[in-house]
A and B are shown apart, each in its own frame.
Chain A
Amino acid sequence: MKLFSQILSYALPLLYLGVIYFYYLIFTGKDKRLLNKTTGLLIGLLFIHAVEIISRLVALNAIPLSTTHDAFSFLAFSILFVYMILELSLKNKGSGLFILSFAFIFELVSSFNVSWTLETNPLLKDPSFAIHASVSIMGYTALALSALYALMYILQNRNIKKRNLGKLFMQLPAISYLEKMSARSVFIGIILLGIGILQGHLEAYDVMGSFWQNDIKVIVIDTIWIIYLIGYSASRLMRWRGIYMAYFSIFGFLVLILGGSMVIYVSESFHSFY
């Protein structure tokens, strides 16, 4: 099972790349027939990724969410899943190239960090940790999507302003839609990440007797979450322009991802408690 899972872990980035190439072909408008084949491909990729996650669950005999590999892999999986739902409901395939490229980067980072060491920290072995981790990752997914929609918003806004009405313009959705989706995703991300953080603190109290742990990741993520909350509230109260909201969303996510990544590499585990 371990070997099977390992093969899948290394194969997944290649499969993501294959699907991205497919979306690239759609993006360049080379073959209209490809437009009808995306659903099957997405379902296929989602299924293989789910098999990889399950195979790790079986091989490790634990919920695979505590390592860097698992966290990034689940993040890629969530982005893929949310994108598939969006594509099916909105019938727009133009954003697939961007969103799936993002998922691919996370999957690539994940496959470079395959680890078979089980967590020893009691906090991370607690079953309710799975809920904390999965809700938090869903929060990251929403924030990642928000940043992507914001990026597409900026690009499309620029296209229409500068009259660059080529392939990129044709494939990207309307700016009002991108703005709405970005704002909604930030909101959902803040809520989910907030729930995840709160649950994490409650678990820490349950297991270790204290709400606050001096884990650098906890400190960084809590801080970033507060910045997100303040920024989002300000944007609502002060009715920020779409373009400002887009920059905020991208900036927030870059800080989140860079901060989180640095912490992971500095510390020895996904969480390190002193």
Chain B
Amino acid sequence: MTINHIPLGVFGISHRTAPVEIRDLVALNEQEQKTAITSILKSFGVEGVMIISTCNRTEVFISKEDPKSVIPPIRKWFNDFKKSSYFLDDHLIYEIYGIEAARHYFRVINGMDSLIVGETQIAGQVRDGYELAHELEGTDSLLNKLFNFAMQAKKRVRNETFLCDGTVSISFAGVELARKIFSDLREKEILVIGAGKTADLAAFHFMENEMKNIHVVNRTYQKARDLADMYHGQAYELKDLPVALKNADVVISATSSETFVVTPGMMENIAKARNHRPIFLIDLAIPRDIDPRIQEIDGVFLYNLDDLNEIVEMNLKKREKELPKSQKIVDEYLLEFQKWYANNSMASIAGRLKKQLDTLRMNEIARLKNHFSNEGLNDINLLTESIINKVVRQHMKTLKKNSGDPERYQQHVDLIYSLFELEKD
């Protein structure tokens, strides 16, 4: 029996429905998440609650037999809590229920619903949300299993598809290209022309990727000195640019110069002096700092902002192509999750246990019916039914107690199956 009814609901706001200004206003910090989880558990009689809150989405997952009945009041509670009207705005907030809510969770954790398809950061943020809810005893067996299956799906998606491969940020596109020229960046020299914010940010990405030796050239020497000092590098005046270029492997140029800072004549001499050893130049300036004609020189590789953008676009397209393959994997795990629910949810266990005990009871009554009068039989019927209900309720009580601990919950489920010889689907 694979059941489509899963007592799960989610409501939220994301990059698909709201601009960043609104998303910022509804986002919940850790303390706010803690308050929200505790309050929802206390006030709305839900079995479990879990929150994902990032710069691109704020979503609340609710586990309850009839989530549709509690989500509207919870939305109102959030409105009051965040002192905003957005949580009641049906144009901004979406609600998803049942198996579709589970599918949504799987897609979110895999970065399939992200602004940048295949981004990997979201998985960590979902994990944080789950761990926080778990810590506050806000996760029941359903949410525990949902997270568990989603993580398994994520692992397979990463191993078997290219959904998360290839850089999708301009800075990292530069680093990736540098790796295709030099392989190992550790011993390479980076030269930054300009000392503004763009130059600093680009330098930071390269330094973060194992590069150690940085040189900075700037029209104002003091600014070059300041930036170089941040990375324990060396500063040069602009007139020393040819000397700095001669020793550099990676060059990032981001000045506000109106004319070319690096010209073909200058580069030709430098390339000869370097014996045409590869040099990778990234021109991030607008207007450009580096004359594009230097690209003709042997050993010189020049890329500008548009080129790097193209790489990012290309990688994004590749990721989008991987979506159907990823969806297939997600669907497989979704089916597994449904199967699990059909066999192991409290509602399912209660139903099966009741059915099995009823069968035993009815068999015994049928066997002994000649020994009792009709009246007596009625009393026995009522008595045994009441005992069975109590036994089932007692098991459900214990299961509920263990629902925050996935391992103990599963042990108890297995015990019930084995003790009462219940059949699995």
Which residue numbers of A lie inside 8 Å of B, CB to CB? 29, 31-33, 156, 160-161, 163, 165, 169-170, 173-177, 239, 241-243
> DSSP class of A's interface residues: helix, strand, loop or mixed?
helix
Of the residues B180, B276, B310, B314, contact of A175 by C-beta under 8 Å: B180
Given that A32-B159, A169-B180 are contacting pairs, would A242 and B314 also be in contact in the complex, using a CB cutoff of 8 Å?
A: no
Q: List 26 A-B contacts (CB under 8 A).
A: A29-B162, A31-B160, A32-B160, A32-B161, A33-B159, A160-B177, A160-B181, A163-B303, A163-B310, A165-B310, A165-B311, A165-B314, A170-B166, A173-B183, A174-B179, A174-B180, A174-B181, A175-B181, A175-B278, A176-B183, A177-B183, A241-B275, A241-B276, A241-B299, A242-B276, A243-B298
B340 at the interface (CB under 8 A from A): no
Cβ contacts under 8 Å, A176 to chain B: 181-183, 278
Cβ contacts under 8 Å, B310 to chain A: 163, 165
Knowing that A174-B182, A242-B276 touch, tell me 15 more A-B residue pairs with CB under 8 angstroms. A32-B159, A33-B159, A160-B180, A160-B181, A160-B301, A161-B295, A161-B301, A174-B183, A175-B181, A239-B275, A241-B299, A242-B278, A242-B299, A243-B276, A243-B298
User: Interface digits, B299-317 against A, CB 8 Å rule (1 contact, 0 not)?
Assistant: 1010100010011001000
Q: How distant is the Cα of A109 from the Cα of B203 in the complex, in angstroms?
A: 53
Q: How distant is the Cα of A32 from the Cα of B322 in the complex, in angstroms?
A: 11
Nearest CB in chain A: distance from B323 CB, A: 14
Cβ contacts under 8 Å, B161 to chain A: 32
| Chain B, 123-177, CB within 8 A of any chain A CB | 159-162, 166, 177
Q: How distant is the Cα of A241 from the Cα of B277 in the complex, in angstroms?
A: 7
Nearest CB in chain B: distance from A91 CB, A: 12
Q: How distant is the Cα of A173 from the Cα of B183 in the complex, in angstroms?
A: 8
Cβ contacts under 8 Å, B183 to chain A: 173-174, 176-177
Q: How distant is the Cα of A156 from the Cα of B180 in the complex, in angstroms?
A: 9
Residue among B183, B275, B299, B314 with most chain A CB within 10 A: B183
Q: Which residue of B lies closest to A36 (CB)?
A: B159
Q: How distant is the Cα of A242 from the Cα of B314 in the complex, in angstroms?
A: 29
Nearest CB in chain B: distance from A130 CB, A: 38
The total of chain B residues at the interface (CB under 8 A) is 24
Cβ contacts under 8 Å, B275 to chain A: 239, 241
Q: Which residue of A lies closest to B179 (CB)?
A: A174
Nearest CB in chain B: distance from A171 CB, A: 11
| Chain B, 259-299, CB within 8 A of any chain A CB | 275-276, 278, 295, 298-299
Cβ contacts under 8 Å, B162 to chain A: 29, 32
Cβ contacts under 8 Å, B179 to chain A: 174
Cβ contacts under 8 Å, A169 to chain B: 180
Q: Which residue of B lies closest to A241 (CB)?
A: B276
Q: How distant is the Cα of A177 from the Cα of B183 in the complex, in angstroms?
A: 6
Q: Which residue of B lies closest to A180 (CB)?
A: B183
Cβ contacts under 8 Å, A173 to chain B: 183
Q: How distant is the Cα of A241 from the Cα of B318 in the complex, in angstroms?
A: 35
5 smallest beta-carbon distances between A and B, as pairs: A174-B183, A177-B183, A241-B276, A176-B182, A33-B160
Cβ contacts under 8 Å, B314 to chain A: 165
Cβ contacts under 8 Å, B318 to chain A: 29
Cβ contacts under 8 Å, A170 to chain B: 166
Q: Which residue of B lies closest to A33 (CB)?
A: B160
Q: How distant is the Cα of A175 from the Cα of B301 in the complex, in angstroms?
A: 12
Q: How distant is the Cα of A170 from the Cα of B162 in the complex, in angstroms?
A: 13
Cβ contacts under 8 Å, B307 to chain A: 163
Cβ contacts under 8 Å, B295 to chain A: 161
Cβ contacts under 8 Å, A33 to chain B: 159-160
Nearest CB in chain A: distance from B248 CB, A: 15
Q: Which residue of B lies closest to A170 (CB)?
A: B166
Cβ contacts under 8 Å, A241 to chain B: 275-276, 298-299
Q: Which residue of A lies closest to B178 (CB)?
A: A174
Cβ contacts under 8 Å, A242 to chain B: 276, 278, 299
Cβ contacts under 8 Å, B177 to chain A: 160
Cβ contacts under 8 Å, A243 to chain B: 276, 298
Q: How distant is the Cα of A160 from the Cα of B300 in the complex, in angstroms?
A: 10
Cβ contacts under 8 Å, A165 to chain B: 310-311, 314
Cβ contacts under 8 Å, A31 to chain B: 160
Q: How distant is the Cα of A65 from the Cα of B182 in the complex, in angstroms?
A: 40
Q: How distant is the Cα of A165 from the Cα of B166 in the complex, in angstroms?
A: 12
Q: Which residue of B lies closest to A172 (CB)?
A: B180
Q: How distant is the Cα of A173 from the Cα of B166 in the complex, in angstroms?
A: 15
Q: How distant is the Cα of A100 from the Cα of B424 in the complex, in angstroms?
A: 51
Q: How distant is the Cα of A62 from the Cα of B40 in the complex, in angstroms?
A: 84
Cβ contacts under 8 Å, B160 to chain A: 31-33
Cβ contacts under 8 Å, B298 to chain A: 241, 243
| Chain B, 187-232, CB within 8 A of any chain A CB | none
Q: How distant is the Cα of A29 from the Cα of B166 in the complex, in angstroms?
A: 12
Nearest CB in chain B: distance from A94 CB, A: 11
Q: How distant is the Cα of A160 from the Cα of B299 in the complex, in angstroms?
A: 10
Nearest CB in chain A: distance from B52 CB, A: 27
Cβ contacts under 8 Å, A177 to chain B: 183
Q: How distant is the Cα of A163 from the Cα of B301 in the complex, in angstroms?
A: 9
Residue among B160, B161, B307 with most chain A CB within 10 A: B160
Q: How distant is the Cα of A104 from the Cα of B309 in the complex, in angstroms?
A: 39
Cβ contacts under 8 Å, A161 to chain B: 295, 301
Q: How distant is the Cα of A29 from the Cα of B275 in the complex, in angstroms?
A: 36
Q: How distant is the Cα of A173 from the Cα of B160 in the complex, in angstroms?
A: 22
Q: Which residue of A lies closest to B183 (CB)?
A: A174
Nearest CB in chain B: distance from A187 CB, A: 19
Nearest CB in chain B: distance from A1 CB, A: 43
Nearest CB in chain A: distance from B354 CB, A: 44
Cβ contacts under 8 Å, B182 to chain A: 174, 176
Q: Which residue of B lies closest to A177 (CB)?
A: B183
Cβ contacts under 8 Å, B159 to chain A: 32-33
Nearest CB in chain A: distance from B192 CB, A: 21
Nearest CB in chain A: distance from B420 CB, A: 42
Residue among A161, A176, A239 with most chain B CB within 10 A: A176
Q: How distant is the Cα of A243 from the Cα of B276 in the complex, in angstroms?
A: 9
Nearest CB in chain A: distance from B380 CB, A: 61
Q: How distant is the Cα of A156 from the Cα of B182 in the complex, in angstroms?
A: 12
Cβ contacts under 8 Å, B180 to chain A: 156, 160, 169, 174-175
Nearest CB in chain B: distance from A182 CB, A: 14
Cβ contacts under 8 Å, A160 to chain B: 177, 180-181, 301
